[in-house]
Amino acid sequence: MANQITTKMLFTLAISLLLVSSSIASSDVPFIVAHKKATLSSLKSGTERVSVSIDIFNQGSSLVQMFLFPNQIYVL
């Protein structure tokens, strides 16, 4: 009897978590996908050049506020 109640409670909990997680996943909230790339190239004069590129994408229809500081990206 106790085993049936435990099984039923676990099943109900699993279904509830599934429904809640699917509703959270389908909500439209902004998030950022950022790709960072740094390349080092040697020039003929014996100097080196560092190139840094950052690609930032806003995925979602809502706006994202970003503050760019050296070496950091802050998202509100």
- pLDDT interval class at 55 (50, 70, 90): confident
Domains contained in the chain, number: 1
Note down the domain range covering 13. 2-75
Three-state SS for the chain is CHHHHHHHHHHHHHHHHHHHHHHHHHCCCCEEEEEEEEEEEECCCCCEEEEEEEEEEEECCCCCCEEEECCEEEEC
Q: What is the pTM of this model?
A: 0.34
**Which residues partner with 25 through β-bridges?**
none
pLDDT in tens, 7-16: 777 778 777 7
More confident residue, 50 or 74: 50
| Token pair in block for residue 29 | 């909230």
Please tell me the distance from the alpha carbon of residue 76 to that of residue 55, in angstroms, as a whole number: 18
pLDDT in tens, 28-43: 566 666 778 888 888 8
Query: Average pLDDT, stretch 39-63?
Result: 78
Average pLDDT, the chain: 70
